[in-house]
Chains A and B, each alone.
Chain A
Amino acid sequence: MTQQLITDAQNTWCPGCGNFAIQHAIKDVILRLESEGIPREMIVLVAGIGCHAKMADYLNINSLYTLHGRAVSFATGICMTNPDLHVICCLGDGDTYAEGIAHLLFAAKRNVNMTVLVHNNRVYGLTGGQVTPTSPTGYHGKSNPYESTEISFNPLSLLLSAGCSFVARGYTQRQKELTELIYAGIKHSGFSCIDILQICATFMNKTKEYDEQTYIPDDHDPEDFDAACRLVREYPYTTSGKIALGVVYREKREVFHVGTPYKQQEYSNTELFVRRFIDGRR
């Protein structure tokens, strides 16, 4: 039996990396789910490629360590096949807001029953500090030493437009709230996406900025779509503006499904169909 939730793999995140906070939040959520009777083997972690993705090596649970940008799509296949599994995706901002943006928005549109955690450190860490879709305007990495006029994506705004049925924002220095958000995301029936502001200790340490600007709104109604849109506009992923944390938007919507999940399929149905088809052509 595998009791330990953390594997024996050597951890190679930088000291002070925001990923540790996310790792511990996930660990706490898994323990809570187990205490509620959800066995560990019912959980699958799907990771992209980047610093965030090392989570697949570090957590001792089922995992599929996939390709840069494609994790949500692999996870969609898992959700289709076995809807009883709890599927958690760990993604990076370069990973899912750049290379894999289409898969993210389509999974939101479809309301695939998974929980997406975006480790949004707003920079490519593992490849050396290049600019990502959520790097603030004016950020210069090694790949854009001279030009930086692009504006940032506002991922929460994008997700709301795409029909995401659970949109939230967390911050790695507010671990208790982050753990609650991940738990709420997993409990949400449908596609939940939590954009996690994560400091990159090496290339993008925004601890001071985030500490000053983040807040938890006390009168926000997450079922009010217009209020959610207004709330996410407060912070366009530049350097200024109030940054609301918590569940931004939540709605009940039919969960994505296709045909009959494979364990309920019967071979005799396909076999009979083939025979019927052949006989019908005689």
Chain B
Amino acid sequence: MNECSVLIGGKAGDGINVAGQIIARIFTSLGYYVYMYYDYPSLIRGGHNFSMIRACTHPVGAYRSEIDILLAMDPTTLRRHQTKCKPDALIIYNSDTVQSDTGSGVPLKTIVEQNKGLAIMENTAMIGALASALGMEWDAIASIITHEMRKSTEKNLDIARAAFQLQAEKKELRRIGESPGILISGNEAVSLGLLSAGLNGYIAYPMSPSSGILHFLAASSHETGIQVFHPESEIAVITIAEGMAYAGAKAAVGTSGGGFCLMTEALSMAGMAEIPLTVILAQRSGPSTGTPTYTAQSDLHFAIHAGHGDFPRFVFAPGDSQQAFEWAGHALSLSWQFQVPSILMTDKTLAEGLYTVPPEFLQAHPPDSVLVTEVREEYRRYQDTDDGISPYASPPLSGAVIKGNSKSHDERGMSVDEAAPISAMTLKQMKKIRFMEEAVSQLNPVHISGNADSDVCLISWGSNAPLCREAAQTLGIKSIQPIVIHPFPEQEMHAAVKDSAMTFLLEDNYSGQLADICEAHGISINIRLPRFDGRPCTIDQLIENLRGRIK
């Protein structure tokens, strides 16, 4: 095998996500790039969870339709996923609870009981069996288990060893070199990107699939020293964050669509009062409560237009953990540079997916100081300037009165009703847009890959980008990913599709939201590829679909 897809499944509460992460770790230790997709319903115990882990010789962010190795912790896993197995697939099942005519049975429960372990350690036994089937040396898997399981390490090693020795059937995967990078989820990448850009505070109310950021930043807050808080509602979240920004702290908030709906009045205030703020919008399927733990990309129009009134903003959509790290940092820095809200969009596929990233690609963006610290002339919070960016100061500033205002206001921040100052302030605020466009055009806002000379273009955004990159590479076509969605990188997008004879656009929504935006900017989309079942496309489905349509 030169690539390998593994599916491990069991009940919620069985630790399937963690088991999947350790399997991903096994593959990177063998020198492969890995992508993991974690599928789970919205419940705490029971139900059916599974992780799909795909190892490749090239960077990867998509899974296959078929499985090379199926790891069945329970009967449901075998029943639901056996049909996805390739003819030569290896099935390893828990012979204490699963009956099967094919594959290797390993008595996981018995092994754990003999070693007086906890039920959750059946995963460890399964991992031991998998390592043996892959043809790993015991020392290699023992070192991974020791690294990943800091609690009850000896017991886990004993359990893994017992299963390792029992597993006879092989499905070998050659070690091809050193680990190509570290494994990092989209939510972790967003958190680290914000931290590396100088985040001072993160405020959020729990909501899948954004909660991972809150948990990560809360758990690490004793080391980072930043302020992390979970208040009574999303309205409190964004208003607290704006209060923090008024007082000088770089704050970010995170949520999903429903929570973002509640934030929109205050988002509009960030526009009027020119309060820097970063919103992480981790999309899930909607409308309304939708399917909390499944994916979608149906909030693009909403993000661009959220909040009443006209005001400038940034909307970014990274596609994998590397881009999520980089653009979370840009989102925070640019929102402060321009004193506008920035919205970083992810989705369930990216937020909770695990990607291999070479650590050298995770470079910090140290923050620039933007605060005014002394007053030379009368301080005016909303002073008109050539680029529309007013001096930013936070109290206390000796000799200055700092007036932030959600109402129409003059340069001092005093409310106004008269026509002339209303239009003057709107013009001042809108003056920034041209400079915002220039700033993002310096940051490679449109990512192009595959065959750059092809006249067939495949456009995608967010978590579909790595999927489309791989499909384009396979089919010899061009992949185009706008990472900056707003202000729309019109020049770069026109240049990218200049010679296109046929343009596809894949996105996880019904109406074709990015397709509409492209067309509004004069970019014809010949074939829209909508997906709206909560699941990302597999690479095989996409390639088959495109092959049938490319003329």
- List residues of chain A with CB under 8 Å of any chain B CB: 1-2, 7, 9, 39, 41-42, 44, 46, 49, 54, 56-57, 60-67, 70, 73-82, 84-85, 102-103, 106, 258-267, 269-271, 273-274, 276-279, 281-282
Contacts and interface: CB of A to CB of B under 8 A. Distances in A.
12 contacts: A63-B401, A63-B404, A63-B405, A67-B269, A103-B235, A259-B228, A262-B201, A262-B248, A262-B249, A271-B196, A273-B195, A273-B220
Interface in B231-284: 231-233, 235-236, 239-251, 265-266, 269, 273
A42 B246 CA distance: 14
A62 B395 contact: yes
B395 A77 contact: no
A262 B227 contact: yes
B404 A65 contact: yes
A219 to B, nearest CB: 38
A163 to B, nearest CB: 14
B190 to A, nearest CB: 12
Given A65-B415, A259-B226, A282-B359, A73 B235 contact: yes
Contacts of A276: 223
Contacts of A267: 198, 366-367
B362 interface: yes
Nearest to B398: A41
B321 to A, nearest CB: 11
Nearest to B243: A77
Nearest to B194: A270
A273 B196 CA distance: 9
Nearest to B220: A273
Interface string B198-241: 11110100000000000000001101111111011101100111
Given A67-B406, A85-B396, A80 B224 contact: no
A66 B406 contact: yes
Contacts of B243: 46, 64, 73-81
Interface in B156-202: 179, 182-184, 192, 195-196, 198-201
A269 B199 CA distance: 11
A256 B250 CA distance: 20
Contact of A261 (B227, B240, B406): B227
A84 to B, nearest CB: 8
B246 A78 contact: yes
A7 to B, nearest CB: 7
Nearest to A59: B401
A64 B240 CA distance: 12
A56 to B, nearest CB: 7
A77 B195 contact: no
A267 B362 CA distance: 17
A41 B239 contact: no
B422 interface: no
Contacts of A102: 232-233, 236
B404 A64 contact: yes
Given A65-B405, A277-B192, A81 B247 contact: yes
Given A80-B227, A102-B233, A56 B195 contact: no
Given A42-B395, A67-B269, A282-B359, A266 B225 contact: yes
B330 interface: no
B348 interface: no
* Cβ-closest 9 pairs across A and B: A77-B243, A81-B247, A281-B182, A73-B239, A259-B227, A262-B249, A41-B396, A74-B243, A77-B240
B502 interface: no
Contacts of B249: 81, 262
A143 B397 CA distance: 44
A65 B403 contact: yes
Contacts of A79: 243
Contacts of B198: 267, 270
Interface of B: 179, 182-184, 192, 195-196, 198-201, 203, 220-221, 223-229, 231-233, 235-236, 239-251, 265-266, 269, 273, 359, 362, 364, 366-367, 394-407, 409, 413-415
Given A2-B400, A65-B405, A77-B239, 12 more contacts: A41-B399, A64-B246, A66-B239, A70-B235, A76-B240, A77-B203, A78-B244, A85-B396, A102-B232, A259-B228, A274-B195, A274-B196
Contact of A60 (B203, B235, B401): B401
B255 to A, nearest CB: 15
B266 A67 contact: yes
A245 to B, nearest CB: 31
A259 B397 contact: no
A106 B231 contact: yes
Contacts of B395: 41-42, 44, 62, 82, 85
Contacts of B403: 56, 62-65
Nearest to A109: B232
Contacts of B273: 64
A80 B200 CA distance: 11
Contacts of B228: 258-259
A74 B265 CA distance: 13
Contacts of B220: 273, 277
Contact of A42 (B394, B396, B407): B396
Contact of B232 (A81, A103, A262): A103
A77 B414 contact: no
Contact of A67 (B195, B223, B265): B265
Contacts of B248: 81-82, 262-263
B401 A62 contact: yes
B244 A81 contact: yes
A199 to B, nearest CB: 24
A265 B404 contact: no
Contacts of A81: 200-201, 227, 243-244, 247-249
B394 to A, nearest CB: 8
Given A2-B401, A267-B198, A267-B366, A259 B233 contact: no
Nearest to A71: B239
Contacts of B394: 82
Contacts of A258: 201, 227-229
B236 A73 contact: yes
Contact of A73 (B227, B240, B397, B406): B240
A85 B402 CA distance: 13
A86 to B, nearest CB: 10
Contacts of B231: 73, 76, 106
Nearest to B395: A62
A110 to B, nearest CB: 9
B235 A265 contact: no
Contacts of B223: 269, 273, 276
Contacts of B184: 281
B482 to A, nearest CB: 27
Q: Which of A70, A82, A103, A269 has most B Cβ within 10 Å?
A: A70
A78 B224 CA distance: 20
Nearest to B399: A1
A54 B196 CA distance: 40
A39 B398 CA distance: 8
A41 B397 contact: yes
A82 B220 CA distance: 21
Contact of A103 (B196, B236, B364): B236
